[in-house]
Copies of this chain bind each other. A is one copy, B any other.
């Protein structure tokens, strides 16, 4: 019974009967609307909260979750301008105009986690510098960005200072003899850890994308591993791909 009510509410959210950021009918209203026990209505609502479709905002009730995803384009660092008209349009449609960005930066010297160590090809005992950032939009945490660099490549550079680097950390690496000419992106999808839930203030039913980027020098030396945690309700990841040459097929 509760599953049927959940299904009905779900389709009304999907088809726009209940619009984003508006309040659902109250528990009492739904109880009389469906002619069932209040506990049944509550079970249906809990299911939708866990799916990430609605959010409880006590004492006002349940609201349809508003998704205003931030446009996230890994290719941007190597290709500041979109190459195709479609990407250009997509970016314009998704611009987060008027939202105030802000970030907090923390720099530490660490023995990095095993998976980072392996990607950076660090030997046992070799340390890394990590720049940990939380990015906010309008005061709301949007994503975290932890950038690891082999310490031997970045000590005594600006990368060690916990402030924004206007010309970019990649530029500093290049100036120091480590230009990145290519990168490998891995995207994993999972539920957040308790630590991620806390740092990013995630609600129930909010999975995350973990984007791991490894930046490489011309000779294949990895000089940077970035771990980005992107809450699913706040991001869309976008790539543009150059196609095959129609003459060459």
Which residues of chain A have a CB within 8 Å of any CB of chain B? Answer: 3, 7, 10, 50-52, 69, 74-75, 78-79, 84-87, 90, 171, 174, 179-191, 193-194, 205, 207-209, 214-216, 218, 220, 230, 232-233, 235-246, 249
Contact = CB atoms under 8 A, between A and B. Distances in A.
Dominant secondary structure of chain A at its interface with chain B: mixed
Nearest to A84: B182
B7 A194 contact: yes
A209 B189 contact: yes
Instruction: Quickly give the copy total for this chain.
Output: 2
A7 B174 CA distance: 41
A220 B85 CA distance: 8
Contacts of A214: 86
B238 A184 contact: yes
A95 to B, nearest CB: 15
B74 A180 contact: no
B78 A180 contact: no
A138 to B, nearest CB: 21
Contacts of A245: 181
A249 B178 CA distance: 13
Contacts of A240: 182-185
